[in-house]
Structure 1
């Protein structure tokens, strides 16, 4: 049996790339396919693998502007040569669910989300674009969306990374899926004496709503540390002014986990499909003050929902006032001893890498028993 692993692009390292790396660890002989790749975005576990890219790789600046290549996604995806592969597993929040496979081949799609900018988030993304980009996007989005909907019907089985995404797959594609949550690197977790500051972590992009958490901390007189970089950084620095907000920039994995361990709590304002950052903080025993929507409802045990064994607080709206209310609720509960770091770590352990690998293995073997001959015999605890 020949196996191919397909991921939309390896440009930066994040949760999706982590999932692709873990899936590939189950199939040591699998070949890797992607639309475009840049060396820093290729996970360590895939750097020695045979990696195939699409024609987009040969377009100047495509690695930096891959999202602007949307009109070319269908052609690039269908141009990946997957002839001769019996099992294709795609890790996708873009177009690669649309790869062409041989008749009789099985295609499993681990879907991080249907492309938000084509479905739920169409108007939001469109409003943030410049006039020229908006015109090009508006002219081509409908065609790409129609192709994406057709492509989803060619997938043999869908796996969703959360119940939230499973519902979106159902609405966008009319397909059912099984939910297998992404893996968390528990072996990196560390515990330290928490300090008084709060932490935001992740790529600095618009939908993360970092400005809400900044303004809330400024108004409350709380210290905030921001780990990560991205296109919003310069704007956020100007908004912060001379306030007690520290920008830490892009951090090594080890340094980031140290930041998790030292914060009083993580602040998380994104409407995320799943969200690995809150779980990474909880793996270090730190609670989370999160927007009560999307993936956070699955990754954080809100005090107003579970009462006992809570690992955080939900705030109701993506507004500065609501974030402030969440912080104050958290502080009152924290001062009353309502959060236990060991319990918070135990909750995060339910999302550990071995759990993900075991569930993926079981699902694959349930659907394709003959895959046992090419899968690794054991599960790596420190993948």
Structure 2
């Protein structure tokens, strides 16, 4: 079976690229197609595959791909997938818009429909400069129509969470299987001594609502460490003397803070959310807003607590509840829960589902996913 793996862009090794690595393990002979690629920024495992980039690579796309969204439909449709029996697209940025052969099976693992043209469009537009806002207004309607139309090129959707599956159904009117993405647990473990600080971690963007945690800890006088690039002047002005911004840090520093924090504060709405599980694998609980992927990873009372309004006051109340019950959270239980989202579990579930989808279609080539 000849297999093509289609990924939106390869400019780093984040959650989407970790899924692509697992797909490359399942299909070691597969070819990879991507809009742009920075080979220095990806893993050796991915570099071992034949990687085909689009024309965007030749016009500065490796550095400026985010500004080229209106060109991406043309770039994806320019890929020649003739002769491929199985096409697996990995979508968060556009990827499913490739044109598979008439007899190919196309499976899309969807991390999320493109949030910047769908549910988060108003926030992205509001935070953009005046020229970008005009361009977004002109191009977004056509991009949405293209995005919906290309959903019909997919035979089967697999969502990374039930939350994303509902958005797939909302925007594309398609059902989706759910396979939660993998968490690399190898570098996380509980420690005996815990510091007196709460933690926010991850790239700081408007939808993550980090300001809620900053303001809550400032008003309560609790220590908060914020890890991740993107803290602007407005966020820093909200912070009192108990809040520290570290910016981007290396893996060792991140791991140390995960295992030593009192708890992770998670005020945003994520499609899934890897960081809460990494913190749980480090033996620490999570205080999360009760919406999105957190509802599928945090178990109230066992691995964390929820608050139900996305406000500073609701988070302050949740922190108070946590501090009254902090002694009840067992690091061993937290770590065991995180293991149920581990890499081997994901690989087995995804490979088994893909095999079953292939087998269910009459007249297509057969063979184990793990065998390539």
Q: TM-score, normalised by structure 1?
A: 0.91
Q: 1:216 — aligned with what? A: 216
Q: 1:246 maps to which residue?
A: 244
Which residue of structure 1 lines up, in the alignment, with residue 370 of structure 2?
A: 375
- What is the aligned counterpart of 1:233 among 206, 231, 234? 231
Q: CA deviation at 1:11?
A: 2.1
Q: 1:279 aligns with which of 269, 277, 280?
A: 277
Q: Does 1:98 align with 2:97?
A: yes
Aligned residues: 366
**Shift of the alpha carbon at 1:343?**
1.0
Instruction: Specify whether residues 282 and 40 from structure 1 end up closer, same or farther in structure 2 by C-alpha distance, changes over 3 A only.
Output: farther
In structure 2, distance between residues paired with 1:338 and 1:373: 45
Which segments of structure 1 move beyond 6 Å, counting only runs of 4 or more?
Answer: none
Deviation at residue 236 of structure 1 after TM alignment: 5.8
After TM superposition, the structure 1 stretch with the greater mean CA deviation from structure 2, 249-258 or 24-33, is 249-258
Work out the CA distance in 1 between the residues paired with 2:73 and 2:52.
Answer: 17
Question: 1:313 matched to which residue of 2?
Answer: 305
Taking the TM superposition and a 5 Å limit, the aligned residue runs for 1:9-24 are 9-24=9-24
Q: Name the CA shift for 1:90/1:137 in 2 (closer, same or farther; >3 Å).
A: same
8 Å CA contact retained: 1:180, 1:359:
yes
Q: Please tell me whether the aligned partners of residues 13 and 40 of structure 1 are also in contact (alpha carbons under 8 angstroms).
A: no
Helix, strand or coil for the counterpart of 2:291? coil
How far apart are residue 175 of structure 1 and its match?
0.6
Task: Select 2:332's aligned residue among 322, 335, 342.
Answer: 342
Compute the displacement of 1:276 (Å).
0.6
Whole-Å separation in 1 of the counterparts to 2:118 and 2:343: 30
**TM-superposed deviation, 1:190:** 1.5
Structure 1 spans left out of the alignment, 5+ residues: 304-309, 378-383
| Deviation of the 1:31 alpha carbon | 1.2
> Tell me, what secondary structure is at the counterpart of 1:368?
helix
Aligned counterpart, 1:380? none
Summarize deviations over 1:291-335 as a string: whole Å, max 9, x none.
1101110011123xxxxxx1111112222222212211111111x
**Counterpart residue number, 1:175:** 174
Q: Distance in 2 between matches of 1:374 and 1:299?
A: 27
* Alignment deviations for residues 157-180 of structure 1 (CA, whole Å, 9 cap, x no partner): 100000001111111101111100
Match of 2:130 in 1: 131
Q: Give the C-alpha shift of residue 44 in structure 1.
A: 4.1
Does 2:362 align with 1:364?
A: no
In structure 2, distance between residues paired with 1:241 and 1:24 = 43
For residues 289 and 39 of structure 2, what CA distance do their matches in structure 1 show? 34
CA deviations on 1:5-47 (whole Å, 9 max, x unpaired) are 1111122332111111111111111111111122454234212
Give me the CA root mean square deviation. 1.8
Please list the CA deviations of residues 112-145 of structure 1 after superposition, one character each: whole Å capped at 9, or x if unmatched.
1111122222222222222211111111111111
Deviations 1:193-245 (Å, cap 9, x if unpaired)?
2211111111122111112211111111111112221xx32436632666232
User: C-alpha separation between the residues in 2 aligned to 1:238 and 1:271?
Assistant: 21
Retained in 2: the 8 A contact 1:191–1:261? yes
Task: Return the offset for 1:374.
Answer: 6.2
Q: Which runs of 5+ in 2 are unaligned?
A: 360-364
Q: Is the 8 A contact 2:7 2:34 kept in 1?
A: yes
Q: Distance in 2 between matches of 1:236 and 1:11?
A: 29
Residues 323-380 of structure 1, C-alpha deviations (whole Å, 9 max, x = no match): 212211111111xx32111111111111111110001111111122455356349xxx
